[in-house]
Amino acid sequence: ALDEFEEGVFLVGANGTYAMFVEMEDHVVGVGGTAGIEERIAVLRAAGVDKPIRFAVLTHHHNDHLVGVPAWEAEGATIYTVSAHEAVVRGSAKDGAALDLAFVDGRHTFESNGRTLEVIDIGPTPHTEHLLVAWLPEDGILFEADHFPNPIHGVMPPAQPVTRALADAIAKHGLDVKTLVGAHSPRVATMDDLRESLLKAEKPKTAGL
């Protein structure tokens, strides 16, 4: 399924794995590396987005977030990760030695035709030492992986420590987030959803204390 939830910004996926594609002036930036990236690219192309995918961003080094590396590799994209993850990323490629890698040291900014896409390392978190998120400041869109459950249906679950870490990072980096999307849900969430999850995790005060 493809959801163009903001002009030129697409969430594409199925079966619990999703990638974000950001259309720039003459190219596309892909974000995520879960299963089915090749199929996600095919869906994007079928929707009429035919600009080359020049850059791809991997969120972190866990195996389920690296299986898409060969698809980005086949596109000829420069893959952004952190230097600490170089070996495992190269090991996920068909030709690791020739893989075109770039390393994010804290933050990297893509700018094109008035659109800005920032890649920010918000690690360490309880989940991983390094975690790259994708931030579109003009649109208030944040893409994350594994830190906000964001269920498709039903009530928002209480926040886990990883969710608190995400919220703390949003505050630390001064991100005016309006929209949250992620690697494992098709749902486009809001900061109110995140706040609801955080509130549910707070322990109720005992009467008289």
Report d(CA 25, CA 21) in Å as an integer. Answer: 13
Query: How many other CB atoms sit within 10 Å of the CB of residue 195?
Result: 13
Digit-coded pLDDT (tens) for 18-72: 999 999 999 999 999 999 999 999 999 999 999 999 999 999 999 999 999 999 9
- Give the single-character DSSP code of 32: -
Task: Copy the structure tokens of residue 195.
Answer: 């706040």
Q: What percent of the chain has pLDDT over 90?
A: 93
User: Residue 204 has what pLDDT?
Assistant: 59
Mean pLDDT of the chain: 95
User: Residue 132 has what pLDDT?
Assistant: 98
Report d(CA 197, CA 115) in Å as an integer. Answer: 31
Query: How many other CB atoms sit within 10 Å of the CB of residue 45?
Result: 12
- Give the single-character DSSP code of 61: -
Digit-coded pLDDT (tens) for 75-98: 999 999 999 999 999 999 999 999
Distances from the Cα of 163 to the Cαs of 75, 89, 129, 159, in angstroms?
A: 33, 25, 15, 5
User: Residue 203 has what pLDDT?
Assistant: 63
